[in-house]
Amino acid sequence: ELSGKRAVVTGSNSGIGLGVAEALAAAGASVVLNSFTDRPEDHALAADLSARHGVEVRYIAADMSDGAACRALVAAAGGCDILVNNAGIQHVAPIEDFPPAMWDRIIAINLSSAFHTTAAALPGMKAKGWGRVVNIASAHGLTASPFKSAYIAAKHGVVGFTKTTALEVAGMGITANAICPGYVLTPLVEAQIPDQMKVHGMDRERVIREVMLLRQPSRQFATVEQIGGTTVYLCSPSADQVTGTTISVDGGWTAL
Ligand code: NAD
């Protein structure tokens, strides 16, 4: 149902971004994958997605910590009908020990990149009278935890930026929304499980239930497929009047 639409998904050579790209390709959109690397395996991901879904998929390297590179990504894609701002990194430290350079980097990748890509993408969307901006925020865009100050500030910022975007394009056929996932089992999260098992002396199932999913009442991870499906819903006609809001996919985290 998204045939004829072009999607740009930032930070999409793994995890949630790749899951979202997969869902959009399966729905018929042509897709631009992105990360900061430019390896043969990045381009192979695009070829694989294209072959499996029969849509055009390209990989374009661009560093989302660099505002000019964010804008250049959208330009190199030839503009986009669907923009998914997903690139993000995390760093965990108390505020007084938080490296200032890491603070700046997280704000740049997790928040400012969305400003730059959105600024580059909106003129084309306005010209066509149709567009979708989907920002991958987090449960941490709505609520906080200690030691993740930059990430939480950036994700709250993304939620605010999403609302402003929605207001500026309201009535033009363009919507802007933020998806707020709780814990999603991505390679990034999977890699933490063995360490947590060691630190806590627990088996895999206990670490997942009692440590990692402590704040997720369902005690179940969300999946990249579910974030992909939520994105496709936001791109569907059912969501034409869904704008400037957040959709939590967090097993009840933010209901607590
Ligand atoms: P991930 O590490 O698998 O994916 C992050 C992606 O961003 C990767 O493709 C990486 O290459 C890319 N990236 C990192 N720095 C970049 C840069 N400078 N330029 C371009 N691309 C860059 O992690 P993920 O879990 O899939 O996270 C994706 C998004 O979802 C992030 O914004 C994250 O904050 C958010 N999120 C994740 C979870 C979770 O539990 N996994 C929960 C809530 C929100």
233 is annotated as an active-site residue: no
Mutate to test the pocket of ligand 1, among 8, 14, 33, 140 (most ligand atoms within 8 A of CB): 14
Question: Does ligand 1 have an atom closer than 6 angstroms to the CB of 213?
Answer: no
CA 195, CA 36: separation in Å to the nearest integer?
Answer: 27
pLDDT tens over the chain, length 256 residues: 999 999 999 999 999 999 999 999 999 999 999 999 999 999 999 999 999 999 999 999 999 999 999 999 999 999 999 999 999 999 999 999 999 999 999 999 999 999 999 999 999 999 999 999 999 999 999 999 999 999 999 999 999 999 999 999 999 999 999 999 999 999 889 988 999 999 999 999 999 999 999 999 999 999 999 999 999 999 999 999 999 999 999 999 999 9
CA of 144 to the centre of ligand 1 (A): 18
Q: What is the pLDDT of residue 188?
A: 84
Looking from the CA of residue 63, the nearest atom of ligand 1 is 19
Report the CATH number of the 6-184+222-250 domain. Answer: 3.40.50.720
Nearest C-alpha to atom 6 of ligand 1 is from which residue?
11
Place of tokens 């306005």: 126
CA 164, CA 118: separation in Å to the nearest integer?
Answer: 11
Question: Does ligand 1 have an atom closer than 6 angstroms to the CB of 88?
Answer: yes
Q: What is the pLDDT of residue 177?
A: 99
CA of 210 to the centre of ligand 1 (A): 24
Nearest C-alpha to atom 10 of ligand 1 is from which residue?
11
pTM, two decimal places: 0.98
Q: What is the pLDDT of residue 219?
A: 96
Question: Does ligand 1 have an atom closer than 6 angstroms to the CB of 13?
Answer: yes
CA of 135 to the centre of ligand 1 (A): 12
Question: Does ligand 1 have an atom closer than 6 angstroms to the CB of 15?
Answer: yes
Mutate to test the pocket of ligand 1, among 42, 85, 186 (most ligand atoms within 8 A of CB): 186
CA 225, CA 62: separation in Å to the nearest integer?
Answer: 25
Question: Does ligand 1 have an atom closer than 6 angstroms to the CB of 20?
Answer: no
Give the domain ranges of the chain. Answer: 6-184+222-250, 185-220
CA 208, CA 188: separation in Å to the nearest integer?
Answer: 14
Question: Does ligand 1 have an atom closer than 6 angstroms to the CB of 39?
Answer: no
Nearest C-alpha to atom 1 of ligand 1 is from which residue?
15
CA distances from 125 to 84, 128, 131, 180, 203 (A): 14, 5, 5, 24, 49
Phi-psi region of 192 (alpha: psi -120 to 50; beta: other; left: phi over 0): alpha
Q: What is the pLDDT of residue 11?
A: 98
Question: Does ligand 1 have an atom closer than 6 angstroms to the CB of 189?
Answer: yes
b/e code 195-231 from CB counts within 10 Å (16+ = b): ebbeeeeeeeeebbeeebbebbeeeebbbbebbbbbb
Nearest C-alpha to atom 39 of ligand 1 is from which residue?
184
